[in-house]
Amino acid sequence: MMQTSIFRTNVQKAILLGAICFFSIASSYTAIAQNNLSIEKLWSLGRLNANGVSADGKYAFYGVSTPNVAENKSAHKDYKIQISDGRVSEVKAESQLDKYDNAKLSPDGKKIIFTKEVAIEKIIGADKYADLPKSNAYVFTSLNNRHWDTYEDGSYSHVFLADFSNGKISNEIDLMEGEKFDCPQKPHGGAEDLLWSPDGKSVLYVTKKKYGTDYAISTNTDIYEYQLANQQTTNLTEGMMGYDVAPAFSKNGRMLAWLSMARDGFESDKQDVVILDWLTRTKKNLTKNYDETINSFLWSNDNKKIFLEVPYRGTIQLFETMVAQDAPPMQRERRMAPRNVVHQITNGQFDINGLVGQSGGNLIVSRSDMNHASELYNVDLQSGEMKQLTHVNDAAYNNINMCKVVGRTTTATDGSQLFSWVIYPPNFDANKKYPTLLYCQGGPQGTISQFYSFRWNFQLMASQGYIVVIPNRRGCQGWGTQWNEAISKDWGGQAIQDYLSAFDDVAKEKYVDAKKCGAVGASYGGYSVFMLAGVHNNRFKSFIAHDGLFDLQSWYGNTEELWFANFDIGGPYWDKNNDAYTKFNPAHYADNWNTPIMIVQGGKDFRVGNEQGFAAFQTAQLKGIKSKLLYLPEENHWVLKAQNAQVWQREFYSWLSETLK
């Protein structure tokens, strides 16, 4: 799901943490295992996070986190690299702003904005009743009583404005005083949700001014402007009913751009780039007529272009679109129209997963593929040619066998062309037979691209001896808005058929061992596994479902972001005209279950609650089906702790080894 989705992995912001396994699935692969990606090698890789480009364009800044399994955490270092010659040096500077959350100085350095929690409501027993200080009871009178992995405790994150001198703040003003709203947006918002106007006269911040049950059924975030001179707050996106996020000014301060969705309640709506002329306050949707969604954007240094990160045909690529140049006031509204269509800059079998900053005629980006974790690259904006800038993991990859990744097109049951990535084991031999896995993506409106996950790692799967089939089924981004939206209200329909079509197409190859095939996935992918368990007609010999939806009716009664269920499932289960709760409910097909299944459930997953995984496991057990439950009581919809992640991966491959012998 976009933003705080149950199934998104945000992907753009959201690189999954995880683990790998020391387990080789079969003795026939042991001889080459030391050269293939392994648990130890994956956990030795550095995980790069891009931090920006210096104002003069000479340096790129990035951080590298390396997991320390024994400590159950990661070690982190920050670096800068000279773009011209690649010289790297560690950055150890400590900022006096570090003690303030999401702190940003005004352009003149005299004021500061930051965020902090403010207690507004008395929800916990100890707060409501002074004579009961040890009470940890919660008293709720509306929804949004919990979100993601946290219960509402009556505190809200607010934006504060203050004077700043010698590292100290004074004269604090709460710009959201008394309001039961959050900035940054919970659970995944950050410093991108607030900023200064370039002239220092205004503060902008993102929030959803809805409370309680209204919050739980709406996606309508807005961008607000607080003017220092008159202390007035204005909604800059009044009447824009979906997500409005990530505001950023052009370098000259003349234009404000942000990401915007049109429809309230559809968190995976097409995401456009909207610009606002800061002088005339006129708006223009720059990408309205473009048929793909925009992950993120970056202003060019000359203010004439906006660079775009776009899911496209099974990858994520760099695009650009024009913005009108300076014009007299009477002509400015007309000149704000795009001067040409969205133009593609890069093309290849990789993902652009971060727009870092411009350096002259080049753009620094973060890039990954299914065989390589993210590194920084220098993109020539004229030719699209790319040069690797950082080399965090080169030495490691020089000793790891790469996996062949091939695109494959299948004719779906409705006649549409269905694209899949297929990744093969190292040293693949077409004259041998290999066990094969169908990977089911979350989202459900997610992106199947060249991403590199540290848990759902396709290179690792293939390196254990599996062929992995990764379909861009209905609902995946990068194939137009119609394809992306086709999965809504049809969860168990065409998308499930797409999975089977893609798998069957690969399974007909002589190198696929039809007796050793499985299906795996998380979130909507876990739902897909549960659905397939009831309709696969003995194609598969093993299943793994992580945080999947097993019973849609109980899920609707327990999940927290109800806007998602209302849009994608079509409303509540008590609506007699909504047949999704029977037609597309995995629990209704459980009488057909006959295949070994492993179920993973996070204990703090409020998006897909405990009852889903426990009910599925109990069903399998009562039916006498070989089954395993991996319960992670301290994890949410993801697996974040290093040692838990390693347990996850070891159990994952152990299960496949047991069931696909």
Higher pLDDT, 153 or 5: 153
Residue 69, strand partner residues: none
- Per the DSSP assignment, residues forming a β-bridge with 245 are 259
What are the two backbone dihedrals, phi and then psi, of residue 437, each rounded to the nearest 5 degrees?
A: -115, 135
**With 90 as the cut, is the pLDDT of residue 557 above it?**
yes
Distance (Å, whole) CA 90 – CA 79: 4
- Rounded CA-CA distance 196/256 in Å is 11
- Map out the domains of the chain as residue ranges: 22-41+401-659
**Close Cβ partners of 434 (under 8 Å, ≥ 6 residues apart):** 424, 425, 428, 465, 466, 467, 511, 512, 513, 516
Q: Which tens digit of pLDDT belongs to each residue from 359-395?
A: 999 999 999 999 999 999 999 999 999 999 999 999 9
371 phi and psi angles, rounded to 5 deg = -110, -5
Between 275 and 9, whose confidence is greater?
275
pLDDT > 80? residue 329:
no
Distance in angstroms (rounded) separating the CA atoms of residues 445 and 438 = 18
DSSP string, 159-186: EEEEEEETTEEEEEEETTTT----SSPT
> What CA–CA distance (Å, rounded) separates 648 from 599?
11
Distance CA 418, CA 294 (A): 22
Write the pLDDT tens digit of every residue in 451-507. 999 999 999 999 999 999 999 999 999 999 999 999 999 999 999 999 999 999 999
Report the pLDDT value the prediction gives residue 177, as an integer from 0 to 100. 98
- 3-state SS of 239-286 is CCCCCEEEEEECCCCCEEEEEECCCCCCCCCCCEEEEEECCCCCEEEC
To the query of whether residue 277 is one of the catalytic residues in this protein, the response is no
Compute the distance between CA of residue 419 and CA of residue 407 in angstroms, rounded to an integer.
7
How many C-beta atoms lie closer than 10 Å to residue 35's C-beta? 14
pLDDT of 34 above 80:
no
Question: Residues 452, 458, 460, 462: is their CA dihedral positive or negative?
Answer: negative
pLDDT tens for residues 217-265?
999 999 999 999 999 999 999 999 999 999 999 999 999 999 999 999 9
Q: Are 634 and 604 in contact (CB under 8 A)?
A: yes
Pair type for strands 362-369 and 351-359: antiparallel
Q: Which of 32-36, 138-142, 423-427 has the lowest mean pLDDT?
A: 32-36
Q: What average pLDDT does the structure give for the chain?
A: 93
Task: For residue 629, count other CB atoms closer than 10 A to its CB.
Answer: 16
**Cα gap 299→191, rounded to integer Å:** 18
pLDDT for res 14: 35
Q: Residue 109: is its pLDDT beyond 60?
A: yes
Closest CA to 353 of 17, 50, 16, 22: 50
For the stretch 267-283, pLDDT in tens is 999 999 999 999 999 99
Q: Is the bond preceding residue 187 a cis peptide, omega within 30 degrees?
A: yes
Torsion of CA 616, 620, 626, 628, to 10 degrees: 30
Interior CA angle at 564 toward 561 and 566, to 5°?
Answer: 110
| 315: nearest Cα among 472, 175, 193 | 472
Q: What is the pLDDT of residue 24?
A: 33
Burial of 229 from C-beta contacts in 10 A (0-12 / 13-18 / 19+): exposed
Please name the residue that has the structure tokens 């929690």.
117
State the catalytic residue, choosing from 149, 182, 351, 605: 605
Q: Which residues pair with 159 in a beta bridge?
A: 115
- Six-digit token string for 570: 């079509």
CATH 3.40.50.2300 fits 22-41+401-659, yes or no: no
pLDDT tier at 334, thresholds 50, 70, 90? very low
pLDDT band of residue 577 (cuts 50, 70, 90) is very high
With a pLDDT cut of 70, the percent of the chain lying above it is 92
Helix or strand run (H / E) with residue 213: helix 213-216
pLDDT at 98: 87
Q: What is the mean pLDDT of the segment spanning 288-307?
A: 98
14: tokens are 């959201």
Other CB atoms closer than 10 Å to residue 388's CB: what's the count?
13
Is 11 a residue whose pLDDT tops 60? no
Q: Contact, 525 vs 441, CB < 8 A? A: yes
- How many angstroms separate the CA atoms of 595 and 541, rounded? 6
Task: Measure the CA–CA gap between 546 and 524, rounded to whole angstroms.
Answer: 9
Residue 49 has pLDDT above 90, yes or no: yes
| pLDDT at residue 28 greater than cutoff 70 | no
Confidence check: pLDDT of 354 > 60: yes
Q: Is the dihedral of CA 96, 100, 102, 104 positive or negative?
A: negative
What does DSSP assign to residue 69?
T
When pLDDT is cut at 50, 70 and 90, the band that residue 651 belongs to is very high
Concerning whether 523 is annotated as a catalytic residue, the answer is yes
Q: How confident is the model at residue 166 (pLDDT cuts 50, 70, 90)?
A: confident
Catalytic option among 260, 368, 523, 627 = 523
Residues contacting residue 239 through CB under 8 Å, at least 6 positions apart: none
Q: pLDDT, tens digit, for every residue of 607-626?
A: 999 999 999 999 999 999 99
Tokens (6 digits) for 100: 């303030």
CB 518 within 8 A of CB 438: yes
Show the tokens assigned to 526: 């876990």
Percent of the chain topping pLDDT 90: 90
Q: How far apart are CA 436 and CA 519, in angstroms?
A: 9
Tell me, yes or no, if 547 is annotated catalytic. no
Q: Which of these is catalytic: 147, 501, 637, 657?
A: 637
Distances (CA, A) of 614 to 518, 619, 632: 21, 8, 12
* 112 and 147 Cβ atoms separated by less than 8 Å: no
* Residue 58 backbone class (left: φ over 0; alpha: ψ -120 to 50; beta: rest): alpha
Q: Which amino acid would we find at residue 41?
A: K
- Is the bond preceding 444 in cis, omega lying within 30 degrees of 0? yes
Q: What secondary structure does DSSP assign to 557-616, as a single string?
A: TT-S-HHHHHHHT-S-TT-TT--HHHHT-GGGGGGG--S-EEEEEETT-SSS-HHHHHHH
Which position has the token pair 């599925």?
616
In angstroms, rounded to a whole number, what is the distance separating the alpha carbons of residues 541 and 503? 14
Q: How confident is the model at residue 324 (pLDDT cuts 50, 70, 90)?
A: confident
Which pLDDT belongs to residue 97?
86
